[in-house]
Chain A
Amino acid sequence: MRALMSTWVVVLLSLIAPLAQADLTIDITRGNERATPIAVVPFAEDGQTLPVDLARVVADDLERSGYFAPLERRAMFARPASGDEVAFGDWQALDTRYLVVGRVSREGEGIRIRYELLDVSGESRMLGERITAGQDQLRAAAHRISDQVFEAITGIRGAFSTRIAYVTSQGVGESTAYQLYVADADGRNSQQVLGSDQPIMSPAWSPDGNKLAYVSFETGRPAIYVQEVASGRRARVTSFEGLNSAPAWSPDGRRLAMALSRDGQPEIYVMDLASRNLERITDAPSIETEPAWSPDGDSLIYTSDRSGGPQIYRHDLRSGEVQRLTFTGDYNARGRFAPDGESLFLIHRGGNGYRVARQDLDNGRLVELGDAGQAESPSVAPNGTMVIFATQQGGTGVLGAVSADGRASFRLPAAQGDVREPAWSPFLN
């Protein structure tokens, strides 16, 4: 009981430490040459200067997606604030396909934002919306605009209002410090949710986006915890002898798949969270770990070295049938499904090290994405357009992201320490 109390204190302290921020910055490493030209005109500010440059946040979101190439501001010779101020011919001459314009004004304690999305070649309005936001919600409002613009043009739901969880560490050996953070999908607005002098691993979002499952070694041994992100309240769900690792939520949020070695070798288990009943899924004299659920919840994939090296297998939970999925190369691990269930993102070892790859499930073809190196921990955006992963830059752990087609990529370095194990949240709105 005393041990439980002290872990509560740790969590509360980390929640009330607002200075413990570890925002990530964004470096675009490869833009998409086929990206659609768009101009996001600085929003007119009626008699005030906002602490957030809304148009900049929107342009950065759209650029990061790889789908859009925002026009530089110095190339804009007009700054219309609404559709009726737009001279379409000017923007057609710049080869701009779409235009976002807007105006902000004070409304009581809040800020009113009106914006429009215009089709430059069609000379028509595609979208117009009014948003009221508090001063502290301006970035969130900008991400909402990005979501609406992205969906109106591509037909794909935007994922700019999502969050990422990640693990950071500083130091080496006995004095290493570990933290678990959540931040906005653009790396900003970071908040520490757990700090420890023992390793923290494998953060995984619940499907409703309210909770994180993770592995913490804070007792000196690995255990799986589930923590509410907003309140910091948490519960330890497993602390069996041996490995307690790799928690993965079922799509309905009621079960956790995990790897436990309580019966000897690491095997895949599924825990019903309400009853805490455990069902053992695999039984092999090899390593089985890194489970992930198919979007329909009917099957699990996992990494196994039963063939000698790590490969990805699929276990049909209804029939019990097991199928090996990966055959390209001698190291394929930590698979994650695309949201449509038609492809996997995984870590593949090739000639130049470890990199993110996509494997289409209908034909088994594997396509390498992003740079080779020490890539690990791929996590797919809820709209399937991007994969975030851990990699290294100048010997330091950073997060990287690559578009699902491999055409665009960016990095999210932290100001200090190593960053790793990103987990992209589900849609939160």
Chain B
Amino acid sequence: MQFKSSVRVLAVAMSLAVLAGCSSTGGTQDAAMDGTGGAGNGVGTGTAGAARVSGSGLGEGAGQMAGSRLPEVRTIYFAYDSDAIRPEFQPVLDAHARFLRSNPDASVMLQGHTDERGTREYNLALGERRAGAVERFLSVQGVSPSQVEVVSYGEERPAARGHSEEAYAQNRRVVFAY
């Protein structure tokens, strides 16, 4: 029980870090790709902050737990019209790779999503390309292909409603669904 609650504390700490990340750092990758300013940075950077914290938290503080417990951060975000895995999310992918390697019976569905801009069927293909990039990353890390499945939802299941850059940044994502 005590162990569980410490995980919860870690999760809360990470959530706080997400909020802190929003105001402190200035990841500009999305903004540069989008050709837009301010609004989009908040979300993009916020999640980046979370990824960094979770990386160090799992790597140093949690040790063995990283491989045996399901990683808390299960969504990573992408730049506009890009399937490149941003460096700040590599620790998240590392954590999932460790978990899947240590738990050969576990399997994950990688759900690829896009923002609403552009045509629906093309976006469905772009969402698959994003999830496929994550799948390849896990494969290189030694995760068995039989543990990983890819499904794209394109723009059909937005996480955030609205038509702002902020909403778009939250919707360009791959979700690890266990």
Binding site for B on A (CB under 8 A): 172-173, 176, 199, 201-202, 217, 220-222, 242-243, 245-246, 259, 261, 266, 287, 289-290, 303, 305, 310, 331, 333-334, 347, 349, 353-354, 374, 376-377, 392, 395, 420-421
A334 and B122 within 8 A (CB): yes
Given known A-B contacts A176-B157, A199-B156, A374-B116, A392 and B163 have beta carbons under 8 A apart? yes
- Report the minimal beta-carbon distance from A175 to chain B, rounded to whole angstroms: 11
A201 and B124 within 8 A (CB): yes
CB nearest neighbor in A for B126:
A287
CB nearest neighbor in A for B177:
A220
Please tell me if B11 contacts chain A, counting CB pairs below 8 Å: no
B124 and A243 within 8 A (CB): yes
B121 and A217 within 8 A (CB): no
B151 and A377 within 8 A (CB): no
CB nearest neighbor in A for B153:
A199
B163 and A395 within 8 A (CB): yes
18 additional contacts, CB 8 Å, given A172-B158, A201-B124, A334-B122?
A172-B159, A172-B161, A173-B159, A201-B120, A201-B121, A202-B121, A221-B151, A242-B150, A245-B124, A266-B125, A290-B121, A303-B121, A331-B118, A347-B118, A354-B117, A376-B119, A377-B120, A421-B120
CB nearest neighbor in B for A291:
B121
Please tell me if B173 contacts chain A, counting CB pairs below 8 Å: no
Question: Using Cβ atoms and an 8 Å threshold, which residues of chain A touch B98?
Answer: none
Mostly, the A contact residues are: strand
B129 and A222 within 8 A (CB): no
Given known A-B contacts A243-B124, A395-B163, A290 and B119 have beta carbons under 8 A apart? yes
0 or 1 for each of B83-110: is its CB under 8 Å from A? (1 = yes): 0000000000000000000000000000
B125 and A289 within 8 A (CB): yes
CB nearest neighbor in B for A310:
B122
Q: Which of A221, A266, A377, A392 contacts B119 (CB 8 A)?
A: A377
Interface centre among A176, A202, A245 (most CB of B within 10 A): A245
- Report the minimal beta-carbon distance from A244 to chain B, rounded to whole angstroms: 10
Please tell me if B162 contacts chain A, counting CB pairs below 8 Å: yes
- Docked CA distance A421–B118 (Å): 13
0 or 1 for each of B121-133: is its CB under 8 Å from A? (1 = yes): 1101110110000
Interface centre among B125, B158, B159, B161 (most CB of A within 10 A): B125
Please tell me if B75 contacts chain A, counting CB pairs below 8 Å: no
- Report the minimal beta-carbon distance from A178 to chain B, rounded to whole angstroms: 8
Question: Using Cβ atoms and an 8 Å threshold, which residues of chain A touch B150?
Answer: 242
What 5 A-B pairs have minimum CB-CB distances, sorted nearest first? A199-B156, A287-B125, A246-B121, A334-B119, A333-B119
- Report the minimal beta-carbon distance from B153 to chain A, rounded to whole angstroms: 6
- Docked CA distance A376–B163 (Å): 15
A289 and B158 within 8 A (CB): no
Q: Which of A266, A289, A374, A421 contacts B117 (CB 8 A)?
A: A374
Question: Using Cβ atoms and an 8 Å threshold, which residues of chain A touch B160?
Answer: 172
- Docked CA distance A273–B154 (Å): 27
B118 and A376 within 8 A (CB): yes
Question: Using Cβ atoms and an 8 Å threshold, which residues of chain A touch B116?
Answer: 374
A259 and B153 within 8 A (CB): no
Given known A-B contacts A201-B156, A217-B153, A221-B151, A259 and B121 have beta carbons under 8 A apart? yes
B119 and A242 within 8 A (CB): no
- Report the minimal beta-carbon distance from A249 to chain B, rounded to whole angstroms: 15
Question: Using Cβ atoms and an 8 Å threshold, which residues of chain B touch A217?
Answer: 153, 156
> Which residues of chain B in 49-80 are interfacial with respect to chain A, using CB atoms and an 8 Å cutoff?
none
Q: Which of A176, A287, A374, A395 contacts B122 (CB 8 A)?
A: A287
Question: Using Cβ atoms and an 8 Å threshold, which residues of chain B touch A287?
Answer: 122, 125-126, 129
A376 and B126 within 8 A (CB): no
B117 and A243 within 8 A (CB): no
B157 and A261 within 8 A (CB): no
Provide 11 A-B residue pairs closer than 8 Å at the C-beta atoms, listed in order of the A residue. Answer: A201-B120, A202-B120, A243-B124, A266-B125, A287-B125, A290-B122, A303-B121, A303-B122, A349-B118, A376-B118, A420-B120
Please tell me if B45 contacts chain A, counting CB pairs below 8 Å: no
Given known A-B contacts A199-B157, A217-B156, A395-B163, A354 and B128 have beta carbons under 8 A apart? no
- Report the minimal beta-carbon distance from B130 to chain A, rounded to whole angstroms: 12
- Docked CA distance A225–B160 (Å): 29
Please tell me if B41 contacts chain A, counting CB pairs below 8 Å: no
Given known A-B contacts A201-B156, A259-B125, A289-B125, A333 and B162 have beta carbons under 8 A apart? no
Please tell me if B152 contacts chain A, counting CB pairs below 8 Å: yes
- Report the minimal beta-carbon distance from B132 to chain A, rounded to whole angstroms: 9
Interface centre among B118, B124, B129, B162 (most CB of A within 10 A): B124
A261 and B128 within 8 A (CB): yes
B118 and A289 within 8 A (CB): no
A333 and B157 within 8 A (CB): no
Question: Using Cβ atoms and an 8 Å threshold, which residues of chain B touch A290?
Answer: 119, 121-122
A374 and B119 within 8 A (CB): no
CB nearest neighbor in B for A334:
B119
Question: Using Cβ atoms and an 8 Å threshold, which residues of chain A touch B122?
Answer: 287, 289-290, 303, 305, 310, 333-334
- Docked CA distance A377–B124 (Å): 13
- Docked CA distance A347–B119 (Å): 8
CB nearest neighbor in A for B150:
A242
Question: Using Cβ atoms and an 8 Å threshold, which residues of chain B touch A173?
Answer: 157-159
- Docked CA distance A201–B123 (Å): 12
- Docked CA distance A242–B159 (Å): 22
